[in-house]
Every structure is written in C-alpha cells, then in structure tokens.
Structure 1
Amino acid sequence: MSGHGAPTTEAIDASDLRVAVVAASWHTQVMDGLLDGAARALADFKVVDAPVVRVPGTFELPVVCGALAAQGYDAVVALGVVVRGGTPHFDYVCNAATDGLTRVALDHTTAIGFGVLTCDDDAQALDRAGLPGSSEDKGYEAASAALLTARTLKQVQRGLPAG
C-alpha cells in the first residue's frame, strides 16, 4: 500500500492563505473523488473561497498552476490522474506533470499539492481517489500537504524562531 508510513497530520487554521485547486477533467469518477477530498481538507483547515479551475488533462496542470502561483496564491493543489496504457504516452504525461509542477513550486516559491495519481489501471486510481471503499484519499492528502507547506513557507519567509 503506497500510503503505508504516511505521517499523521492535524488540521491547522489556514484561513489566511490564498489557495486554489486545479483539476484535470479526464476520469470523471476519480476526479470527483479527488476534488471531494481536497474540499474536505480545505474545510478542515478553515480555508474558504478557494477557486477550482478545470483543465483538459493532467498535462495542462503545470501551466495553470504556474499562472496562479504568479498571481500570489500561497498554495495551489494540482489534481489529476494518468492511467497506464499500451504506449509511452503515460511516461511522457507523468514526467511532464511532475517536472512542470516541481518547476512551478521552485520558480515561484509556492506550495504545490501534488495530487496526481499515476496508476497502472483504473482499479488503482479508484482505490486512491477517496471514494467510498477507497483505501486512500489522495485529494485530501495533496490539499493538506499544500496547506502545511504554505504555512511553513510563511514561517521561513518571516524568519524561523531561534531554537
């Protein structure tokens, strides 16, 4: 199970953070689960008014996340899913999304929640989507990781306390 060893995190008050969610449109059932999970995390962390922007697919996530980061968002949650097929397309899209989102985070010093599922089949994607019966909730995890990272970035930018 890929979630084995995950840290236990408690929701913090992130109501002062500007947060957006960018979600791909392929694999509707999986994406609905990821979006619901992200929305639950945002609610638990007291974030309101986080816009959700839809893009055609996972390949398009980095450019829109970059545009939002450039607008001053503290955290952007990227949600997508790529299911392996019989061609190298899977590798190209996964690499492009991962490299692109990493570049956005580093270039803009912005927390990016990486909620991109890269699965061998539909069953794996459904099991990670946070749906009833799923073993994992990657939408929730991606949003909470982005919020916790954004809070840490704010602390670093203000100067870490001596300790």
Structure 2
Amino acid sequence: MSGDGSPETETFDASHLKVAILAASWHSQVTDGLIGGAQRALADFNASGPLLRVPGTFELPVAAKALAVQGYDAVVALGVVVRGGTPHFDYVCNAATDGLTRVALDHTVAVGFGVLTCDNDQQALDRAGLPHSREDKGYEATAAALLTARTLKEIATATP
C-alpha cells in the first residue's frame, strides 16, 4: 500500500499562513473527497484560505504560480488523472508534476502535491479521503504544504 511508512502528522497553529486550495474539476467525486480532506487539514491546523477551481490537472501549475506571485505561503494543488488508452495520461501527469515543482522552486513557496495519478477509478477512490477510502491524500498534501511553509519561514528568519 502506498501509505506505508508515512510520518505522524504534527499539527500546529497555522493561522498566520496565507494558504489556498486549488482543485481541478475532473472526476468530481474524487476531487470533492480531496477537497474535503484539505479542508479537514486546514481546520486541524487552525488555517483557512480560498478554494479555487481550474478546469483540469494540466491547469494547476499556472494557477499555482499566480497564487505564489500574490504572496501565498502555501498552495495545495488537488487533481486526478486516470490512465486511459493514449499517452495523454503521461503528458498531463508530467506537465502537472514538473509545473508544480517549478512553481515551488522558482517562488520558494510550499506546494502541496495532491494530484492522484492512478491506473483506474478504484485506485483514485481508495486515496480520495472518502468514508470508504484507505487514504486521504487531500489531507496529506495540505499537511505537507503547511509544514513546509512553516519550515520555509523558519529558514527565512534563521541567522547563518
């Protein structure tokens, strides 16, 4: 199972962080589950922020960049790509992964990677944070983004 070995989630008061949840619109049942997990994490960390939608996973990086430029400390990118019979899956997955990584590195902003890249619908449902799911990747991506944003702030104020 892909969740094996995951660390314990350490919560803290993240109310001072500027956070946005950015979600694709495809596969609404799964994406809505991811959003629910992200919102549960925000509540656990005493954080809040807008929920913004883009058409698909391919569009996540450009919207994440716009949020980074506006000064967000953390952007949680949520989407689902299910393998089909064409190379489209590979192109979208690679573009989203590379684009979100570029946003994080180019703008020194925490980007929560909540993009599910699955072979079938059942794998996506198992990771969506729904009542019958085995994993909650929306929660995990949000927690990771908040923890990373805290660390980036610590680094920015550390004296060498």
> How much has 1:32 moved relative to structure 2?
0.6
Instruction: Please list, as runs of the form range in 1=range in 2, the aligned pairs for 1:62-73 lying within 5 A after superposition.
Output: 62-73=61-72
Please, which runs of 5 or more residues in structure 1 have no aligned partner? none
Q: Which position in structure 1 is the counterpart of 2:109?
A: 110
* SS class of match (2:78): strand
Amino acid at match of 1:69: A
Q: Distance in 2 between matches of 1:122 and 1:116?
A: 14
Match of 1:6 in 2: 6
Offset, 1:135: 0.4
Please name the residue that 2:44 is paired with: 44
Q: Deviations over 1:47-70 (max 9, x none)?
A: 02x001100000000000000000
> What's the CA shift string for 1:73-109, capped at 9, x where partnerless?
0000000000000000000000000000000000000
Instruction: Provide the residue aligned with 1:120 in structure 2.
Output: 119
SS at the partner of 2:133?
coil
Matched, 1:76 2:75: yes
Show the counterpart of 1:158: 157
Q: Which amino acid aligns with 1:39?
A: Q
Give aligned-pair identity as a percent: 76
Structure 1 residues 6-50: Cα deviation after superposition (integer angstroms, max 9, x where no partner): 0112211100000001100000100010000000000000002x0
**How far 1:133 moved relative to its partner?**
1.1
Provide Cα deviations, 1:94-132, integer angstroms capped at 9, x if missing partner: 000000000000000000000000000000000000001
Q: Look up the equivalent residue of 2:10 and give its one-letter code.
A: E
Q: 2 CA distance for matches of 1:126 and 1:133?
A: 8
TM-score (norm 1): 0.97
Amino acid in the other structure paired with 2:123: Q
The alignment partner of 2:113 has SS state of strand
Secondary structure, aligned partner of 1:10: coil
1:33 alignment partner in structure 2:
33
Structure 2: tracts of 5 or more residues without a match? none
Amino acid at match of 2:137: K
Q: Distance in 2 between matches of 1:15 and 1:42?
A: 9
